[in-house]
Amino acid sequence: MAKTTPIQLSDHFTYRRLIRFTVPSIAMMIFTSIYGVVDGVFVSNYVGGTPFAALNLIMPFIMIFSAIGFMFGTGGSALVAFTLGTGRTARANEIFSLIIALVAGIGLLLSALGWITAAPVARLLGATETMLPYCVLYARINMLGLVPFMLQNTFQSFLITAEKPKIGLWVTVAAGVVNMVLDWLLMGVLHMGLGSAAAATVIGQFVGGGIPLVYFLLPNHSLLRLGRTHFHAGWVVKAATNGSSEFMTNISMSVVNMLYNFQLMRYAGENGVSAYGIIMYTNFIFVGVFLGYSFGVAPVAGYHCGAGNRKELSSVFRKSITMIGIAAVCMTLLSELLAPYLSMIFARYDPALMEMTTHAIRIYCLSFLLMGFNMFGSSFFTALNNGLVSALISFLRTLVFEVLSVLLLPELMGLSGVWGAIVSAELLSILVTGFCLWHFRQRYGYWSWGENQRA
């Protein structure tokens, strides 16, 4: 059997090669979503409805703290890919090493903050007296694994930049398998409760963050290795600026999810929060395709931007828009068909909750028609090292438009307005994304639809 030629960032990317390079990232995001779903399935079916609602209520608070890892991972890898494109390999490794050290230090501070504020935040989010102890327990245990969780998020982007996306996939698989096996053992067999679900997650995060750390510390065959570095404010600011859209996306998603839960407690009580939690679990799987592709292709775009190869940058952009359009239609149709079965996985113990969730998924999934283009647009500008435009798209999409929608639409449409808020937000966002892509087309040279392109 012929050995497959490794793909390098400097290559010309055909459709086939682009798919090969991004599939590990897509698979990684899907698998990450699947083991998150397994957490929810075990909690809902083995621990109970109230702990499941408590988990979904406090989860946005936990995810806020992970935003730093996503910011420095995507923003830092864009800067490193651009630097590699200019031929400065030693400097690229110094930047990489500085960012990893910075993420670990910030993670320690945030984990202490999260432990202290877990209880008052749970009350602020509307936790009932029965939900409160579950919220605090789950949050505090998760804070113990915050540093490796942030490192895992950061390393996943850098493994793509290091031309080792398959290692990122297998690390995610290993972390997920550990999490799922422990979920089954601790909850399904030993019936140890919600705390064991959090413990399983934390142990999986140590696997996901620890393996790449060891890999990059030891001699390896990738473009990157951890080594000596020094603090350079310019690198930190540039990485943070590049990744500001991902930071904004994660912060905004957490804030918006809190707002959704607040509205759902008003309109539907605990069942509403549980239904939204189910949507989020299933949504992560579908969105993982868009997110994984955007993360996977970003270092390619960043490299060719740094190398000044506008023809290849245009080719990658054109092919990406085409593939995202096809995926958007397919995933919308698939999610509409699977809605009752997805609901059944989590809510078969409660027919009313299952009916509510099926209806909600069928409204919510219409957003998939537009979501991929908005995610790619934001990630693409991050890759071009234009963090301000990327952040603008993310800020409007994930915070401004969605907050306005989730506040206003329920007043007009009731509970259906809550489920449809995301569709309204994505529709408004596509106008902004399209304008930005058109406005900056000549500066970066990625919009050459009329030119002959290599296959």
pLDDT in tens, 80-100: 877 887 778 888 888 889 988
Contact 147/104 with Cβ under 8 angstroms?
yes
Confidence grade of residue 207 (pLDDT, cut at 50, 70, 90): very high
Q: Does the pLDDT at position 433 exceed 90?
A: yes
Q: What is the mean pLDDT of the chain?
A: 82
Confidence grade of residue 206 (pLDDT, cut at 50, 70, 90): very high
Q: What is the pLDDT of residue 326?
A: 92
Domain count, the chain: 1
Domain containing residue 183: 15-444
Q: What is the pLDDT of residue 452?
A: 43
What pLDDT digit, counting tens, does each position of 127-143 carry?
778 888 888 898 899 89
Least confident span in 196-205, 296-305, 318-327, 365-374: 296-305
Q: Does the pLDDT at position 200 exceed 50?
A: yes
Q: What is the average pLDDT across 244-273?
A: 74
Q: What is the pLDDT of residue 58?
A: 82
Q: Does the pLDDT at position 1 exceed 50?
A: no
Q: What is the average pLDDT across 47-52?
A: 76
Q: How far is CA 72 from the centre of its chain?
A: 13
What pLDDT digit, counting tens, does each position of 2-15 carry?
455 666 666 777 88
Q: Does the pLDDT at position 449 exceed 70?
A: no
Q: What is the pLDDT of residue 453?
A: 43
Q: What is the average pLDDT across 30-38?
A: 71
In a domain? residue 351: yes
In a domain? residue 455: no
Q: Does the pLDDT at position 39 exceed 60?
A: yes
Q: What is the pLDDT of residue 4?
A: 59
Contact 293/69 with Cβ under 8 angstroms?
no
In a domain? residue 454: no
Q: Does the pLDDT at position 432 exceed 90?
A: yes
Q: What is the pLDDT of residue 330?
A: 92
Q: Does the pLDDT at position 160 exceed 80?
A: no
Q: Give strand ranges (E) for 264-304.
A: none
CB atoms near residue 377 (< 10 Å): 27
In a domain? residue 7: no
Separation between Cα atoms, residue 229 and residue 231, nearest integer Å: 7
In a domain? residue 195: yes
Instruction: Provide DSSP, 393-440.
Output: HHHIIIIIHHHHHHHHHHHHHTHHHHHHHHHHHHHHHHHHHHHHHHHT
Q: Which of 51, 44, 100, 49 is nearest to 77 (CA)?
A: 100
What pLDDT digit, counting tens, does each position of 237-249 carry?
888 777 766 677 7
Angle made by CA atoms 357, 280, 180, in degrees to the nearest 5: 110
State the residue for tokens 């050459």: 448
3-class DSSP assignment, residue 298? helix
Q: What is the pLDDT of residue 245?
A: 66
25 Cβ neighbours under 8 A, 6+ residues apart: 156, 160, 165, 168, 169, 292, 293, 295, 296
Q: Does the pLDDT at position 451 exceed 60?
A: no
| CA separation, residue 74 to residues 158, 353, 390 (Å) | 8, 37, 12
In a domain? residue 32: yes
Q: What is the average pLDDT across 155-167?
A: 80
Q: Does the pLDDT at position 374 exceed 90?
A: yes
Least confident span in 52-61, 367-376, 406-415: 52-61
Q: What is the pLDDT of residue 140?
A: 92
In a domain? residue 221: yes
In a domain? residue 453: no
